[in-house]
């Protein structure tokens, strides 16, 4: 097509690369997990809050993944736990990408001391040891659904801010943006009409990657006992398995491995989708892939 266009004297149309096998695999995994979360009451065989069997009962037809120490069905806990884990992932990612997009757009567009100040804040967040700061903030704020979201959002916004800033700098140098600034368009109009439409697709890719990190962080905090003990997430299932000696009783086979598999699947699903989208939407990433 590009050869025919060149022969006819027409400009070639540059097609964006497809997501690829890994990207589509990530989309399918995420779709399955979202369906499981949305239809959890219909898919779960039991109420996750009720005692429906003997303690530490191994997997059977009645209990696909066995029971925990008080006879609750673990499969039902994990199916309903998808709601909490995915909700925390999406909300924390939305906060992080919202902050990162705002910081990146303001820093990249205005430049000068504004850019220097904001980017030093980004550097500070990136260089501070992540794990101790995460544990400290979660312990200080206390175990709560919303506190977990705030902690995650406050810790993972720096990378999106840096990526968005780089995109804003590239868009700001385009002729039509410089022309809009030269004729006296207000900054808000330039940002809304020209800058944001160019960075929002890239912000979407950053949102997917941030959600991947958020789910992993939530599971880590919940496993350490810093999550909301009243909300059944995949991380809290792991916490109670560790706290109630699943490893000593042999119940770890059906109590620890399944939530670990789900956390891994969600993390990889978000990661594969996010990296594929980033390669499609970010010209710099496409250049690296072509060079490789």
pLDDT mean by block of 10 residues, the chain; 292 residues: 43 57 90 94 91 89 90 93 93 94 92 91 87 85 88 90 91 84 83 88 90 91 84 90 84 89 93 84 54 44
What's the confidence (pLDDT) of residue 8? 41
Q: How far is CA 267 from CA 30, 133, 228, 252, in A?
A: 9, 22, 20, 21
Q: How far is 222 from 217, CA to CA, in rounded Å?
A: 8
Closest CA to 282 of 202, 215, 187: 202
Q: In the prediction, which pLDDT does 36 show?
A: 94
Instruction: Name residues whose C-beta falls within 8 Å of residue 229's C-beta, 6 or more positions apart in sequence.
Output: 143, 236, 239
Tell me the angle at which helices 74-110 and 145-155 cross, rounded to the nearest 10 degrees. 40
Q: How far apart are CA 252 and CA 84, in angstroms?
A: 22
In the chain, where are the structural domains located?
20-282
Q: What is the pLDDT of residue 16?
A: 55
Write down the pLDDT at residue 2. 44
Distance CA 5, CA 133 (A): 56
Q: Do you know the residue count of the chain?
A: 292
Q: Are 211 and 89 in contact (CB under 8 A)?
A: yes
SS3 category, 72: strand
Fold of domain 20-282: MetI-like fold (1.10.3720)
- Tokens 């303001």 locate to 106
End-to-end CA, the chain: 25
- CA-CA distance, 27 to 21, in Å (whole number)? 10
Provide the pLDDT for residue 285: 53
Query: In angstroms, how far is CA 8 from the centroid of its own chain?
Result: 45
d(CA 45, CA 75): 8
User: Which among 276, 289, 134, 286 is positioned nearest to 208, based on CA atoms?
Assistant: 276
């Amino acid at each position: 097509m590009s050869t025919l266009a060149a022969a006819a004297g027409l400009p070639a149309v540059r097609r964006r690369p497809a997501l690829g096998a890994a990207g589509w695999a990530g989309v399918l995994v995420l779709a399955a997990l979202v369906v499981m979360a949305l239809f959890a009451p219909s898919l779960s065989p039991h109420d996750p809050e009720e005692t429906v069997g003997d303690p530490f009962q191994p997997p059977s037809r009645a209990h696909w993944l066995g029971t925990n120490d008080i006879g609750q069905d673990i499969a039902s806990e994990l199916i309903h736990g998808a709601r909490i884990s995915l909700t925390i992932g999406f909300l924390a990612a939305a906060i992080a990408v919202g902050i990162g997009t705002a910081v990146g757009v303001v820093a990249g567009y205005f430049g000068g001391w504004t850019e220097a100040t904001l980017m030093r804040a980004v550097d500070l967040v990136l260089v501070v040891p992540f794990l101790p700061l995460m544990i400290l903030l979660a312990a200080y704020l206390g175990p709560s659904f919303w506190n977990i979201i705030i902690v995650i959002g406050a810790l993972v916004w720096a990378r999106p801010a840096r990526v968005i800033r780089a995109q804003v700098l590239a868009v700001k140098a385009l002729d039509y943006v410089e022309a809009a600034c030269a004729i006296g368009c207000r900054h808000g109009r330039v940002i809304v009409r020209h800058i944001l439409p160019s960075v929002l697709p890239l912000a979407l890719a950053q949102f997917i990657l941030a959600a991947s990190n958020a789910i992993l962080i939530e599971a880590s905090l919940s496993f350490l006992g810093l999550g909301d003990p009243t909300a059944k997430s995949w991380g809290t299932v792991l916490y109670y398995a560790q706290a109630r000696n699943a490893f000593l009783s042999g119940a770890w086979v059906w109590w620890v491995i399944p939530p670990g598999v789900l956390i891994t699947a969600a993390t990889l699903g978000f990661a594969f989708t996010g990296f594929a989208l980033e390669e499609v939407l970010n010209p710099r990433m496409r250049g690296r892939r072509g060079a490789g």
